[in-house]
Amino acid sequence: MSYRLTAPVPGWTTTTDVVVVGSGVAGLTVALNVRKAGLRAMVVTKAMLDDGSTRWAQGGIAAALGDGDTPEQHLDDTLVAGAGLCDEEAVRTLVTEGPDAVHRLIGIGAAFDQDADGAILLTREGGHHRRRIAHAGGDATGAEISRALVAAVRSDPGIELIEHALVLDLLTDADGHTAGLTLHVMGEGQRDGVGAIRARAVVLATGGMGQVFSATTNPAVSTGDGVALALRAGAEVTDLEFVQFHPTVLWLGPDAEGQQPLVSEAVRGEGAYLVDGAGVRFMAGQHELAELAPRDIVAKAITQQMQLQGAEHMYLDGRHFGAEMWEQRFPTILASCRSHGIDPVTGLIPVAPAAHYASGGIRTDLTGRTTVPGLYACGEVACTGVHGANRLASNSLLEGLVFAERIAADLAERHRTGDLPERSVDVAAARSARTAPLLAPETRAEIQRLMTHGAGVLRSAASMAATAEGLAALGREAGTHLDEGKPADPRVETWEAANLHLVATALVAAAVLREETRGCHWREDFPERDDAHWLRHLVTVLGADGTPEASAGRP
């Protein structure tokens, strides 16, 4: 039996063919492509259409587009970054279908930076042995991709858009097939409050879960809702322990919380280097690529220097670029630094690692199907196997594009062969699933504090035991309030807190189990990679009591 969030009975119902949750690169690409197959699409999104991580992406999108580059070389770099846990078939799919997918994105209007002859300009980022990253507006790639996709969906009358709507849980029919979802629309209008959407299939494209940590590059909407919803619906999630911490996030003081400004890897790609407080470079000698080593190596090196020197941050030095290059190549980062009183043209940029990207997520196959029939996932919320233990820089926008197109192709084929019938669901009966207590809004900050202290860049059995106990105590407290007849009210803040609590608990369950250091999972008590025991994925499902249970799964 599945679980659901405590919520009022749906007061309205509507119907479509495919409902897509999320309006980043992944969700909008699915919607545009299922339309080509003659299916109706509905996109539901928590805030405004462009409010996910996609808009914030700076560096660019990786694809073998340059002279002399090949998908095979892109594959090699991706496999190295993934530290033994990439699914090679998934990576091969990404790198071979990637270049055409980027051209199709250009076809719908995304304008990438070009040289005087009209060739796409390519830069380098950590872990890439070639210039392979296409960018737009200098360092505003995500904003341009988002602009182009939003314009395209807005001009298609067959795509219905529901903004300011928080999706709560899945609806399934009597056969256990996905038949739609429940959601809460914020605001007044025909569809106000909790309702239901009936559909033949549901695609989750809800992005990341960076908000489980105190400091993150992710926007406020990235609360892991898709993973929480999928767990409650009985889906398998995998590789949750592999959270990428971006090495160079602008350090804004010890108490800074929530979304923090990113200083893209492309700044190091163009030649900026890391120094400590005394101006000494510390990456040379640590890795053949020095500052352009894969992110986990750079994040660990910065964290180690911070610990050794008792410092709260390190510095990035890009003064040698000069004002003109900063203004033309990195206008967003320059403006962001200056708005915080830091001038990269004349001074050093204080940086420290912060939570950036969830390499794991809802387990899918190469067509985006999850382990729940009729439920698909793509983009950052999914785990296609592309990233393994660590994502290679700028592979995520590409993954969102490529696998969104694959989901649409699978849905189109199922529709063509009659394998995508309308589903009937009794919305009231579907509510017989068990409910988990909601958490008070204040617990959001407590969850973030517990996760940052015990399950952040550095982890150990002891640190994670403390975090797990803290999370369990929050769950018990919510249960007690429920028993006393004083449960937290069902509303956006309490639903999000419940989702954050569930994904944090699941993440810690996996991270405790993996007793080795691999990719972006760094155990102080198990500092070595241990292929003999851990060259395998961890799979997490919700146990009978509603608690996430992780176990060693497929190699």
Ligand X SMILES: Cc1cc2nc3c(=O)[nH]c(=O)nc-3n(C[C@H](O)[C@H](O)[C@H](O)COP(=O)(O)OP(=O)(O)OC[C@H]3O[C@@H](n4cnc5c(N)ncnc54)[C@H](O)[C@@H]3O)c2cc1C
Residue 540 binds ligand X (CB under 6 A):
no
Cα–Cα distances (Å) from 438 to 109, 167, 213, 224, 299, in that order, read 43, 15, 19, 15, 35
Residue 262 binds ligand X (CB under 6 A):
yes
Q: Which is nearer to ligand X, 164 or 431 (CB)?
A: 164
Residue 97 binds ligand X (CB under 6 A):
no
Q: Which is nearer to ligand X, 153 or 430 (CB)?
A: 153
Residue 505 binds ligand X (CB under 6 A):
no
Cα–Cα distances (Å) from 383 to 243, 479, 521, in that order, read 12, 31, 16
Residue 248 binds ligand X (CB under 6 A):
no
Q: Which is nearer to ligand X, 73 or 286 (CB)?
A: 73
Residue 357 binds ligand X (CB under 6 A):
yes
Beta carbon of residue 392, minimum distance to ligand X (angstroms, whole number): 9
Binding segment for ligand X (CB under 6 A), chosen from 24-32, 277-285, 300-308, 521-529, is 24-32
Token pair listed for 250:
């602008």
Among residues 43, 374, 377, the alpha carbon closest in space to that of 200 is found at 374
Residue 61 binds ligand X (CB under 6 A):
yes
Place of tokens 């004002």: 323
Q: Please report the DSSP string for 398-466 in residue order.
A: HHHHHHHHHHHHHHHHHHHTT-S------TTGGGGSEEEPP--TTHHHHHHHHHHHHHSSSB-HHHHHH
Q: Judged by CB under 6 A, which of 2, 54, 172, 305 binds ligand X?
A: 54
Q: Which is nearer to ligand X, 351 or 512 (CB)?
A: 351
Q: Judged by CB under 6 A, which of 269, 360, 400, 456 binds ligand X?
A: 400
Place of tokens 């407590």: 446
Beta carbon of residue 312, minimum distance to ligand X (angstroms, whole number): 21
Q: Which is nearer to ligand X, 167 or 334 (CB)?
A: 167
Q: Which is nearer to ligand X, 263 or 283 (CB)?
A: 263
Beta carbon of residue 245, minimum distance to ligand X (angstroms, whole number): 12
Residue 113 binds ligand X (CB under 6 A):
no
Q: Judged by CB under 6 A, which of 47, 80, 108, 289 binds ligand X?
A: 47
Residue 396 binds ligand X (CB under 6 A):
yes
Residue 25 binds ligand X (CB under 6 A):
yes
Q: Judged by CB under 6 A, which of 26, 298, 478, 512 binds ligand X?
A: 26
Residues in Cβ contact with 490 at an 8 Å cutoff, skipping those fewer than 6 apart: 5, 6, 7, 8, 438
Token pair listed for 117:
């002859």
Binding segment for ligand X (CB under 6 A), chosen from 69-77, 147-155, 377-385, 415-423, is 377-385
* x-marked contacts with ligand X along 116-155 as a string, rule CB under 6 A: -------------------------xx-------------
Amino acid at 499: N
Which member of 92, 198, 295, 391 is catalytic?
A: 295
Measured torsion, CA atoms of residues 245, 251, 254, 260, in degrees rounded to the nearest 10: -60
Q: Judged by CB under 6 A, which of 10, 60, 126, 487 binds ligand X?
A: 60
Beta carbon of residue 62, minimum distance to ligand X (angstroms, whole number): 7
- Where on the phi/psi map is residue 84: left (φ > 0), alpha (ψ -120 to 50), or beta? left
Classify each residue of 494-518 as buried b or exposed e, where b means 16 or more C-beta atoms within 10 Å of its C-beta. Answer: bbbbbbbbbbbbbbbbbbbbbebbb
Amino acid at 36: K
Q: What is the CA radius of gyration of the chain?
A: 22
Binding segment for ligand X (CB under 6 A), chosen from 30-38, 59-67, 310-318, 363-371, is 59-67
Q: Which is nearer to ligand X, 179 or 358 (CB)?
A: 358
- With CB under 6 A, what is the number of residues at the site for ligand X? 45
Cα–Cα distances (Å) from 242 to 77, 80, 123, 388, 520, in that order, read 18, 15, 26, 8, 6
Q: Which is nearer to ligand X, 24 or 454 (CB)?
A: 24
Beta carbon of residue 254, minimum distance to ligand X (angstroms, whole number): 21
H-run or E-run covering 195? strand 193-198
| Contacting ligand X within 183-242 (CB under 6 A) | 205-208, 217-218, 221-222, 225
* x-marked contacts with ligand X along 157-186 as a string, rule CB under 6 A: --------xxx-------------------
Helix (H, G, I), strand (E, B) or coil at 542: strand
Beta carbon of residue 26, minimum distance to ligand X (angstroms, whole number): 3
CB-CB contact of 345 with 326 (8 Å): yes
Q: Judged by CB under 6 A, which of 30, 44, 148, 430 binds ligand X?
A: 44
Say which DSSP state 535 is in.
S
Binding segment for ligand X (CB under 6 A), chosen from 54-62, 194-202, 237-245, 305-313, is 54-62
Residue 332 binds ligand X (CB under 6 A):
no
In residues, how long is the chain? 555
Q: Which is nearer to ligand X, 265 or 516 (CB)?
A: 265
CB-CB contact of 410 with 368 (8 Å): yes
Residue 24 binds ligand X (CB under 6 A):
yes
Residue 402 binds ligand X (CB under 6 A):
no
Beta carbon of residue 156, minimum distance to ligand X (angstroms, whole number): 17
40 among known catalytic residues: no
Token pair listed for 521:
């999972």
Which is it for strands 237-238 and 361-363: parallel, antiparallel or unpaired?
antiparallel
Token pair listed for 55:
């808009």
Q: Please report the DSSP string for 286-320 in residue order.
A: T-TTGGGS-HHHHHHHHHHHHHHHT-S-EEEE-GG
* Sites of contact with ligand X (CB under 6 A): 21-27, 44-47, 51-54, 56-61, 141-142, 165-167, 205-208, 217-218, 221-222, 225, 262, 357, 379-381, 394-397, 400
| Catalytic machinery residues | 295
